[in-house]
Amino acid sequence: MATKDEVIEILKTIEDPELFLDIWFLGLIYAIDINQEEHKVTIDMTFTTPMCPAGPMMIEQVKDQVGLLPDIDEVEVKIVFDPPWQPSDDVKAMLGMM
């Protein structure tokens, strides 16, 4: 069965197409739940802004890529905006915000 670490490694390969940084580093992933009985991964995710034009594309990438893991039959991505996304100091530095 897939592990949380395996899911995280996949999320590190998916970039926000506007910021060119991966969604894990950006802190867009709030929670990962792996239900071994149902062979399902549920991911709570946010966007940098509520009206992110790349949002639907990123959701599909997450579903497609995580769904390639062995024994995973379903990937659900829940979009949440509470709490609102706040970039970490590392992200701010990478984006020239510090």
Residue 70 lies in a domain: yes
Q: Give the global pTM.
A: 0.92
Residue 56 lies in a domain: no
* Average pLDDT for 78-93: 90
Rounded Cα distance, 70 and 42, in Å: 15
Specify the CATH number for the domain of residue 69: 3.30.300.130
Domain that residue 34 falls in: 4-42+61-87
For the chain, the domain total comes to 1
Residue of 69, 68, 4, 63 whose CA lies nearest to 33: 4
Residue 68 lies in a domain: yes
Residue 98 lies in a domain: no
Average predicted confidence (pLDDT) for the chain: 94
Residue 94 lies in a domain: no
For 32-70, how does the pLDDT look when each residue is reduced to its tens digit (9 = 90+)? 999 999 999 999 999 999 888 999 999 999 999 999 999
Identity at 82, one-letter amino acid code: D
Residue 83 lies in a domain: yes
- 47 contacts 87 by C-beta, under 8 angstroms: no
